[in-house]
Amino acid sequence: MRQSGARSAEEAGALPEELARRLGTTDAVVVGLSAMIGAGVFAALAPAAEAAGYWLLASLAVAAVVAYCNATSSARLAARYPESGGTYVYGRRRLGPLWGYLAGWGFTVGKTASCAAMALTFGAYVAPGLARPLAIAAVVALTVLNLYGVRRSAWVAKMIVAFVLAVLAAVIVVGFTGDSTVTFGWFAHTPPAEPFLTTSLAIGTAPAGVDAWGVLQAAGLLFFAFAGYARIATLGEEVRDPARTIPRAVSIALGITLVVYALVAMGALRVLQPELLARSAAPLIDLVNEGGAGWLAPVVGAGAAVAALGALLALLLGVSRTVLAMARERDLPGVLAAVDPVRQTPRRAEAAVGVAVIVLLLVADLRGAIGFSSFGVLVYYAIANACAFTLTREEGAPPKVVPVLGLGLCLVLAATLPAASVLAGLAVFAVGLVIWLARHRSR
């Protein structure tokens, strides 16, 4: 709720200090791709393979179904409410202030941790011994870039996505044509020369049983990689013709990402097999090395660094817009709601997010951040699906099965994440709830 005497944005018919609508479909697609592809391919495959083993592709399929449901619900809601803030806004409009706040709180805290993880990924690939200083420099540089306007940020994102996709295309070629250490279904087998590549599993066969828990846990971890389409929705106030652009951009970005992920995962299973993939710190570099194309390793390393920058750029944009929306409703300090009158960017929100990420860089853990962020984002999308369920046909509601399936799968995947991630996520939401209750009692 706003302070006494203030009208809501919906009542006033316009948002205070609106952002400029400068992004078209291509811009929105690129922002989503830079978040999804950068985070997932280089960060989530290894922990997912550790959980699912040979059933990694099944986990990817489950994550894709969840992502499709969430994307459809989010796109319909974003078209209905083309404002900055994503599910924070939808929750307030459809379910009430508390549910909107919890969505915004989980997204802001979880994705701020993801920003730190992506910055550290960049630093680790460029110069491991200087990872943290380089990570801080990257956050400062991209925050300044965002302060100069979202169109410049989208232009940089286009360059990043083009380069990363070119690198991944080379990785996929090696994955399907290079030396193979395992036969998995349709893949041809070349016996490994190195004894450390063999496993206790019989080469040429997949396990007879399905580890359902492992498949679900891996799907929850892989969902971390698909969550970038949220950036499109949180930029809703800056997209031209949002009712048409947002659903189209979400569908295109999600489809491209799914194809790329599936091809990379198949190549990784063919060349590395699950055990080596699971313990790899840099799985795509190991893929090209073991696939007989070691000369590509420096290029893949550069691609990983650039992809991390792309993910960081999109994350900073999305988190700052959610902070802006929460500040407008006084769920965060109102001073963060200011919009630059010249560049029409939420400069204070962007600066605050940049500072918070730099602070987290001192204590961030890469693998832990994936599980923690996945928990927060799954809860965020569970609320989004609940909001979409309340839409009427006149409001552009999706088929009811979509939000119902999305809500159920989000809760299941959140519950099957590693225990440390679940406990940390629950603790963060409990703290957020206490803060909300204290602020509202004081009013």
Q: What is the CATH number of the domain that holds 40?
A: 1.20.1740.10
Contact, 203 vs 182, CB < 8 A? yes
Q: Is residue 76 part of a domain?
A: yes
Residue 3 reports pLDDT greater than 60: no
Q: Which two tokens stand for residue 6?
A: 């203030």
Name the β-bridge partners of 239. 23
In whole angstroms, what is the distance from residue 375 CA to residue 114 CA? 12
In whole angstroms, what is the distance from residue 215 CA to residue 217 CA? 6
- Domain count for the chain, please give it: 1
pLDDT digits (tens, 9 = 90+) for 23-44: 777 777 877 777 677 656 777 7
Q: Is residue 8 part of a domain?
A: no
In whole angstroms, what is the distance from residue 199 CA to residue 195 CA? 9
Q: Is residue 112 part of a domain?
A: yes
Residue 181 reports pLDDT greater than 60: no
Q: Is residue 140 part of a domain?
A: yes
Reference 383, options 150, 139, 100; nearest CA is 100
pLDDT digits (tens, 9 = 90+) for 388-397: 999 998 888 8
Q: Is residue 97 part of a domain?
A: yes
Three-state DSSP state, 152: helix
pLDDT at 366: 62
Q: Is residue 5 part of a domain?
A: no
Q: Mean pLDDT for the chain?
A: 79
Reference 56, options 211, 284, 205; nearest CA is 211
What band does 373 get if pLDDT is binned at 50, 70 and 90?
A: confident
Q: Is residue 12 part of a domain?
A: no
In whole angstroms, what is the distance from residue 382 CA to residue 370 CA? 18
pLDDT digits (tens, 9 = 90+) for 83-128: 767 788 899 999 999 999 999 898 888 888 888 888 887 887 787 7
Q: Is residue 93 part of a domain?
A: yes
Domain holding 387, by residue range, is 21-442
